[in-house]
Structure 1
Amino acid sequence: MSKRIAITILLSLIGLTLLLTPLQAKRSPDIYYQDQVAVLMYHHIHDTDKSSSTITTALFQEQLQSLLSKGYHFITLSEFKQYMEGATVPSNAVLVTFDDGYQSFYTAAYPILKSLRIPAVNYVITNDLANPMGSYIPSMSKEQISEMTHATNFIDIGCHTNNLHHKLSDGNAALVGRLDAESDDAFKQRVLKDTQACVGKLAGLTDAPLDTMAYPFGITSPMATELIQQAGIRYAFTITPEMATRSTDHLLIPRINAGSPGITPALLHRSIQRRVLAQPGSAPLRVDAAAAAAQLGGSASAEGGALRLRLGREAFTLQVNAKAATRGVTRVVLREPVLREHGQVTIALDDLGALIGLPLVYTPATGTVAARVTPSVK
């Protein structure tokens, strides 16, 4: 009997210890960077084809799984565009892009992206849509593209020109070079009509806006950039290997190459780290806790010097000037203190997301907090 009592007391003490021990709000294990995006560039995924821009399915999957395990967060094209307009993105944000519209995206990359729920965008040479098997490397068909964009909420497409993905006789890219004796007006019409044709051919294959482009060979010129903008392109990607930030020119967005066979998962991680921009003294984004709770479908009420939030079945208490909150009877440690500012109780956005267990995004233009859309297959 005494042995049973001793075991009971021991278990009770363990339970009490767990209750009294502060919990760390669940969050990414490491923060390598914030408020910037690593835009990755791929072309061809194939197990037997060989080139400087072709990697195997195994390497592609290893790269993505490695980044996931290290705490990188993959975002959609829509989230990236919202970020460029002022919205927040998760720490360690990554956007996956592909160029050329190869069929291998559908047969090799898409199954991996779908299984890992990783968003991606493919920039398509739309002239190849008429005869997908006629190009040197087979291209995706309209049906394959439409299937992916409509079966998921995280696969997007964009323009890689209609018929300007080649070099002219003088070695210049067709998007920026001049044909023999081509006038300024003729050049402008050629580029403008090609971009409009590209957008038009993709229009029926997705429900998302078609306002992004990747420059062939990563090459553009001030005039070419102005012309694609006139055709409705708002965001365009180069191959300059840098991080993307809000201050980046929306029509000159850099990308980091990830699609060469020698880029191991470890090398890709280091490649991103080398390009992270220093952010000295950057303060965490803070939000009005009560307003955020209401925008997330919950409520808030003041209780003395504290603010009580209710979201669904969960209740949280924020104590002003404390770097902790309570969830029920559990004390949860925060990274930043809860503050009272201008009559509002504020909390760091990352702390709020970690506390309630939802990745959040803040849009300054509307002053709203919302949960990030979870990648899903319909």
Structure 2
Amino acid sequence: MIKFLLRTAVIAIAGLTFLVSSLSAFKPETLYRSQVAVLMYHHIHDTDQSGATITTELFRSQLSYLKGRGYHFISLQEFKDFMNGAAVPDNAVLVTFDDGYEGFYQNAYPVLTKLNIPAVNFIITGTLDHPLDGNIPFLNRDEIRTMTLHSPGIEVQCHTDSLHGKTEGDQGKALLVARLPKDGRTETEDEYKKRIVDDTRACTGRLKDLTPHQVDAMAYPYGIYNPLAASLVKEGGIQYAFTILPRMATQGMDPLRIPRINAGSPYITPLALHNMIMRRVTAPRPAKSMVGLRDTLEQVGGELTKDKADGSTVIHYNGIQWKVRPGSQEAVSGERVLTLDKPVTIVGSRSYILLEDLEKLLGIDISSDPHTRLYTARLPDASDSDAEGRKGQR
């Protein structure tokens, strides 16, 4: 009997040792690396309803599901470091909110602190003096101080001071990019530039008194921006600006055009959010890779034709035309001639070009999707149309 008990104990200990060693060896799946899924939310509320409002339970379920799948949530400071060359954990996610609604303090903040997840809320600082005047209550100063002082991972940043709006009329333009009427005329370029810089400085200045963090980031209202507006908010103190273009954030990307994935719709289940991220993961491509010229060009919005006069292949993209010949390293556009690193080659009936050469000709960066194996062009320089800010995004 004693031998039986000893044998049973030995087997139990061995089994427990195997279980502990197996659990310690478990590592979450690497879904992606060296990039960040920046998630965008607006309003967390259990009775309000809109296309940009989700319940507390859905918010909790989304974040809990992502944590269970091995996603790693990072702070805004970690994201800034990443944009400046530092590494981030595999499956990195940054949680962001727009508008500074009070529902963030009442409903989202408790979930974030319980799950130990950092987040940043982009505040319309013009609401701070009268936070209860809007259709939806906004955060007040005491709520902001409480969160940012007691929870180091919670930050507030800019969503402009008084430029979160559009001009009047059916074709109203975002105030950040519009030229406004003034004294019976349209404001001059100098007046426009001063308005944007002054508003940006007002926004950063009002937040600096409420948070221990550096205030140097902004979310463009409605996601609408253009190169001039981006340069002006930078002059006003902004180093990192976020859009609503749904892609992954990668190093080398313009820090004033950071993409985000909308997670704040009531129709986005936890699994759907995971799948949305996976569809946008950018795969690192092998150096010096040859790609199908026609397929890749068409995927980024170009066209390939043949010149009937001389039989050369013609690349059309964004009003530019380049002529190339198989076996040649020269590309010609009018009087301009570029030397390719490798000649265009023909295999069967298909033309192939070095991807780096195609980027050089088109003047764009090209990335690939590891799941669909499709190619996409880099983020656009401007997004100053209502189409970019549709679907109720604020």
Asked if Structure 1 and Structure 2 have the same fold, meaning a TM-score greater than 0.5 normalized by the shorter chain, the answer is yes
User: Where does residue 251 of structure 1 map in the other structure?
Assistant: 256
Runs of 4+ with >4 A deviation: 13-27
Amino acid at match of 1:173: A
CA distance in 1, matches of 2:280, 2:67: 19
Q: Which stretch shows the higher mean deviation, 196-205 or 4-13?
A: 4-13
CA distance in 2, matches of 1:17, 1:264: 38
CA distance in 2, matches of 1:51, 1:268: 18
CA distance in 2, matches of 1:24, 1:114: 26
Higher relative contact order (CA 8 A, sep 6+): 1
Q: 2:5 aligns with which of 4, 7, 17?
A: 7
Q: Structure 1 residues 13 and 237, CA, compared in 2 at 3 Å: closer, same or farther?
A: same
User: Where does residue 167 of structure 1 map in the other structure?
Assistant: 166
CA distance in 2, matches of 1:81, 1:249: 12
SS at the partner of 2:249?
coil
CA distance in 2, matches of 1:53, 1:28: 35
User: Where does residue 180 of structure 2 map in the other structure?
Assistant: 179
User: Where does residue 209 of structure 1 map in the other structure?
Assistant: 214
- Deviation of the 1:163 alpha carbon: 0.3
User: Where does residue 227 of structure 1 map in the other structure?
Assistant: 232
- Deviation of the 1:9 alpha carbon: 4.0
Q: Structure 1 residues 7 and 279, CA, compared in 2 at 3 Å: closer, same or farther?
A: farther
For structure 1, the 5+ residue unaligned runs are 283-378
Q: Percent identity?
A: 50
- Deviation of the 1:6 alpha carbon: 3.8
- Deviation of the 1:28 alpha carbon: 3.6
User: Where does residue 64 of structure 2 map in the other structure?
Assistant: 65
Residue 99 (structure 2) pairs with residue 94 (structure 1): no
SS at the partner of 2:187?
coil
SS at the partner of 2:250?
coil
Task: Supply the RMSD in Å over aligned alpha carbons.
Answer: 1.9
Alignment of 1:289-300 (within 5 A): none
CA distance in 2, matches of 1:247, 1:188: 27
User: Where does residue 194 of structure 1 map in the other structure?
Assistant: 199
Q: Structure 1 residues 20 and 123, CA, compared in 2 at 3 Å: closer, same or farther?
A: closer
CA distance in 1, matches of 2:230, 2:52: 25
- Deviation of the 1:153 alpha carbon: 1.1
CA distance in 2, matches of 1:115, 1:16: 36
Q: Structure 1 residues 229 and 26, CA, compared in 2 at 3 Å: closer, same or farther?
A: farther
Alignment of 1:1-378 (within 5 A): 3-9=1-7, 11-12=9-10, 15=13, 26=25, 28-169=27-168, 170-180=171-181, 181-280=186-285
- Deviations 1:332-365 (CA, angstroms, capped at 9, x unpaired): xxxxxxxxxxxxxxxxxxxxxxxxxxxxxxxxxx
- Deviations 1:283-333 (CA, angstroms, capped at 9, x unpaired): xxxxxxxxxxxxxxxxxxxxxxxxxxxxxxxxxxxxxxxxxxxxxxxxxxx
- Deviation of the 1:27 alpha carbon: 5.2
For structure 2, the 5+ residue unaligned runs are 288-394
- Deviation of the 1:11 alpha carbon: 3.6
Q: TM-score, normalised by structure 2?
A: 0.68
CA distance in 2, matches of 1:247, 1:26: 34
